[in-house]
Structure 1
Amino acid sequence: MIQTISDIPWWAWILAALLLIVIRDIFFQKSHTIQHNFPLVGHLRYMLEKIGPEIRQYIVANNREELPFNRQERSWVYASSKRENNLQGFGTDQDFSAPGYVFIKHAMLGYRLPDNHPNKKDPSAVPCAKTIGEYHKRKKPFKPYSIVNISGMSYGSLSAKAVESLNKGALKFGCYHNTGEGSLSPYHKYGADVIVNIGTAYFGVRDDKGFSMDALVKMTTENPFVKGLELKLSQGAKPGKGGVLPAAKVTREISEIRKIPMGQDAISPAFHSAFSNIPEMVNFIEAMAHNTGLPVGIKSAVGQLDMWEELAALMAKTGKGPDFITIDGGEGGTGAAPHAFADHVSMPFNFAFTKVYHIFQRYDLADKIVFIASGKLGFPEKALMAFAMGADVINVAREAMLSIGCIQAQKCHTNTCPTGVATSNQWLQAGIDPTIKSERFYNYVKTLNKEILEITHACGYEHPCQLSMDDVEMSMGDNNRTQPMSKTFGYHKTNVPFVNVETLLASPYLGGGKAL
Structure 2
Amino acid sequence: MNIITSAYFWISLLIILIVIRDVFIQKSHTITHNFPIVGHIRYWLERIGPELRQYIVANNREELPFNRQERSWIYASSKNENNLQGFGTDQDFSSPGYIFIKNAMMGFNPAKNHLYHQNPGVLPAAKVIGLYHNRAKPFRPYSIVNISGMSFGSLSAKAVESLNKGALLAGCYHNTGEGSLSPYHQNGADVMLNIGTAYFGVRELDGRFSMEKLKQKVEENPCIKAIELKLSQGAKPGKGGMLPKSKINKEIAEIRHIPLGQDAMSPAFHSEFSTVPEMVEFIESMANETGLPVGVKSAIGKLEQWEELASYMEKHGKGPDFITIDGGEGGTGAAPHAFADHVSMPFTFAFAKVYQIFQRHNLTDKIFFIASGKLGFPEKALMAFAMGADSIHIAREAMMSIGCIQAQKCHTNHCPTGIATSNKWLQAGIDVTLKSERYYRYHYTLVKEIAEIAHACGYEHPTQMTMDDIEWSMGDNNRTMALSKALGYTKTETTYAGLEELVKCPHLGGLNARKRLSL
Residues 134-192 of structure 1: CA deviation (Å, up to 9, x unaligned): 01000000000000000000000000000000000000110000000000000000010
Could you tell me how far apart the structure 1 residues matched to 2:272 and 2:434 are?
41
Deviation at 1:264, TM superposition (A): 3.0
Select 1:213's aligned residue among 197, 211, 226.
211
Q: Supply the AA of the counterpart residue of 2:363.
A: L
State how 1:136-155 maps to structure 2 within 5 Å.
136-155=133-152
Correspondence for 1:224: 222
3-state SS of the aligned residue for 2:287? helix
Residues 192-214 of structure 1: CA deviation (Å, up to 9, x unaligned): 00000000000000003510000
- Larger mean Cα displacement after TM superposition, 209-218 or 231-240: 209-218
Correspondence for 1:374: 372
State how 1:160-239 maps to structure 2 within 5 Å.
160-207=157-204, 208=206, 210-239=208-237
Unaligned runs of 5+ in 1: none
Q: Supply the AA of the counterpart residue of 1:110.
A: G
Aligned 8 A contact 2:325 2:370 in 1: yes
3-state SS of the aligned residue for 2:344? coil
Could you tell me how far apart the structure 2 residues matched to 1:251 and 1:69 are?
33
Asked if 1:75 is matched to 2:81, the reply is: no
Could you tell me how far apart the structure 1 residues matched to 2:267 and 2:43 are?
35
Deviation at 1:247, TM superposition (A): 2.9
Q: Supply the AA of the counterpart residue of 1:224.
A: P
Correspondence for 2:500: 502
Deviation at 1:49, TM superposition (A): 1.6
Could you tell me how far apart the structure 2 residues matched to 1:381 and 1:432 are?
30
Correspondence for 2:467: 469
Aligned 8 A contact 1:358 1:491 in 2: yes
3-state SS of the aligned residue for 1:78? helix
Deviation at 1:8, TM superposition (A): 7.3
Residues 423-451 of structure 1: CA deviation (Å, up to 9, x unaligned): 00000000001000000000000000000
Cα distance change, pair 465–271 in 1 and its aligned pair in 2 (3 A):
same
Q: Supply the AA of the counterpart residue of 1:87.
A: L
Select 1:362's aligned residue among 360, 363, 366.
360
3-state SS of the aligned residue for 1:210? coil
Q: Supply the AA of the counterpart residue of 1:331.
A: E
Q: Supply the AA of the counterpart residue of 1:438.
A: S
Could you tell me how far apart the structure 1 residues matched to 2:116 and 2:132 are?
28
Deviation at 1:52, TM superposition (A): 1.7
Determine what percentage of the aligned residue pairs are the same residue: 72
Select 2:338's aligned residue among 315, 340, 357.
340
- Larger mean Cα displacement after TM superposition, 294-303 or 332-341: 332-341
Could you tell me how far apart the structure 1 residues matched to 2:330 and 2:389 are?
19
Q: Supply the AA of the counterpart residue of 1:395.
A: H
Could you tell me how far apart the structure 2 residues matched to 1:247 and 1:381 are?
42
Correspondence for 1:252: 250
Aligned 8 A contact 1:249 1:423 in 2: no
Q: Supply the AA of the counterpart residue of 1:502.
A: E
Cα distance change, pair 7–423 in 1 and its aligned pair in 2 (3 A):
closer
Q: Supply the AA of the counterpart residue of 1:85.
A: N
Q: Supply the AA of the counterpart residue of 1:213.
A: M
Correspondence for 1:107: 104
Correspondence for 2:276: 278
3-state SS of the aligned residue for 2:226? strand
Could you tell me how far apart the structure 2 residues matched to 1:55 and 1:136 are?
53
RMSD (Å), alpha carbons: 1.3
Could you tell me how far apart the structure 2 residues matched to 1:193 and 1:51 are?
39
Aligned 8 A contact 1:248 1:415 in 2: no
Correspondence for 2:306: 308
Q: Supply the AA of the counterpart residue of 1:482.
A: T
Aligned 8 A contact 2:331 2:340 in 1: no
Could you tell me how far apart the structure 2 residues matched to 1:404 and 1:24 are?
43
Correspondence for 1:34: 31
Could you tell me how far apart the structure 2 residues matched to 1:262 and 1:393 are?
38
Deviation at 1:249, TM superposition (A): 2.5
Could you tell me how far apart the structure 1 residues matched to 2:475 and 2:243 are?
42
Asked if 1:351 is matched to 2:355, the reply is: no
Could you tell me how far apart the structure 1 residues matched to 2:166 and 2:252 are?
22
Q: Supply the AA of the counterpart residue of 1:362.
A: R
Could you tell me how far apart the structure 2 residues matched to 1:331 and 1:408 are?
15
3-state SS of the aligned residue for 1:92? coil
Aligned 8 A contact 2:330 2:372 in 1: no
Unaligned runs of 5+ in 2: none
Could you tell me how far apart the structure 2 residues matched to 1:420 and 1:139 are?
40
Deviation at 1:256, TM superposition (A): 1.1
- Larger mean Cα displacement after TM superposition, 278-287 or 13-22: 13-22
Could you tell me how far apart the structure 2 residues matched to 1:455 and 1:415 are?
39
Aligned 8 A contact 1:124 1:449 in 2: yes
Could you tell me how far apart the structure 2 residues matched to 1:145 and 1:83 are?
22
Deviation at 1:51, TM superposition (A): 1.9
3-state SS of the aligned residue for 1:437? helix
Cα distance change, pair 38–482 in 1 and its aligned pair in 2 (3 A):
same
Q: Supply the AA of the counterpart residue of 1:162.
A: A
Correspondence for 1:242: 240
Correspondence for 1:122: 119
3-state SS of the aligned residue for 1:307? helix
Could you tell me how far apart the structure 1 residues matched to 2:208 and 2:7 are?
63
Q: Supply the AA of the counterpart residue of 1:410.
A: Q
With structure 2 as the length reference, what TM-score do the two structures score? Answer: 0.97
- Larger mean Cα displacement after TM superposition, 330-339 or 485-494: 330-339
Could you tell me how far apart the structure 2 residues matched to 1:8 and 1:211 are?
70
Select 1:398's aligned residue among 396, 399, 402.
396
